[in-house]
Amino acid sequence: MTHEFVEPLGMRVLIRKDESRHTTRGGIVLPDQAEIPTITGRVVEVSLQVERDADFPIEKYDKVLFHPKNSIPVDFEQDNLLYVVPIEDVVAVFRRDDQPRPRRRAKPGQEEGET
């Protein structure tokens, strides 16, 4: 049985966008045409280039905030919530205090743990 998957190339990640909300946590109802400049989602896949770059501590399953302007929708699933996103459009990673911080990958010619 063959499974298809999407592998981002270059400095990109694949993100499954969170469901759109029409009401904010504070109870404000958003009109359908409201444009929210950044949206949240979960990282589904990380390109090898991003994975090897110590400047981007983003890993699979991280919850992120990203700007959708340069994102490319992927018509791969029925609900069509997948986007290939340039790494520079990922503006934040959500972390919790009880979550271990991701290990920084060493840059070429540098020992792990060195900064």
Q: For each of the domains in the chain, give its residue range(s) and CATH number, in order of start.
A: 1-19+36-96 (2.30.33.40)
Beta-ladder partners of 29? 23
Task: Give the closest residue to 105 by CA, choosing from 24, 48, 45.
Answer: 48
Of 114 and 18, the structure prediction assigns the larger pLDDT to: 18
pLDDT tens digits along 84-114: 999 999 999 998 887 666 655 555 565 655 5
Higher-confidence position of 36 and 64: 64
Among residues 61, 67, 49, the alpha carbon closest in space to that of 16 is found at 61
44 token code pair:
């589904």
Q: How far apart are CA 106 and CA 101, in angstroms?
A: 15
